[in-house]
Amino acid sequence: MSWTTPLDVAAAVCILLGAVLTLIAAIGQVRMPDLLSRMHAATKPQVLGTVLIVLGLSLRLRDPGVVGLLLLVVLLQMATSVVSSHMVARASFRAGQVRHDLLVVDELSDEQLHEEPRGAP
């Protein structure tokens, strides 16, 4: 047994966990009741899943250049998934694609009845 074996095992565990989280994100897309809830499944477990897969890869490859590139993958993933989920959520809310029966509190719709129009900055 060489010193790399524990690293390889850790890498395998990370990649497996990441794959499971990504699978859960996919299941969430199917199971969640409305679009806004689906966006949750699409952002959180999916981002952590990507982080874990990337961590596993860098533990296995052990090459500084590759690790730098993988770090970039994580950063861009975090930045873009946030923006895309916001844009989709905003569009769906404005289009009225909201299951109001699922909301306990809805401070946005309450306020817009008597406040500035939605397009206001």
Partner 1 sequence: MSPVLRTRRDGSTRPARYRAVQPLAVLWLTLVWLAMWGEVSPLLVVGGVLVAVAVCVAFPLPPIDIASGLRPLALARLVARFLVDLVRASIQVSGVVLRRRPVRNAVVAVDLESSSDFVMTLVAAMLSLIPGSVVVEARRSTHTLYLHVLDVPDEESAERFRRDALDLEQRVLRALPPHAPEEAGA
User: Six-digit token pair at 120?
Assistant: 């206001």
Q: CB 38: neighbour CB atoms within 10 A?
A: 20
Using an 8 Å Cβ cutoff, are 73 and 50 in contact?
A: yes
User: Six-digit token pair at 29?
Assistant: 């897309």
Which range of residues in 7-15, 37-45, 54-62 is near partner 1 by CB under 8 A?
37-45
Q: CB 105: neighbour CB atoms within 10 A?
A: 6
Asked if residue 86 binds partner 1 (CB under 8 A), the reply is yes
Q: From the CB of 24, what's the least distance to partner 1, in Å? A: 5
Q: Applying CB under 8 A, which residues contact partner 1?
A: 21, 24-25, 27-28, 31-33, 36-37, 39-41, 43-45, 47-49, 51, 65, 68-69, 72, 78-79, 81-83, 85-86, 89-90, 93, 102-109, 111, 118, 120-121
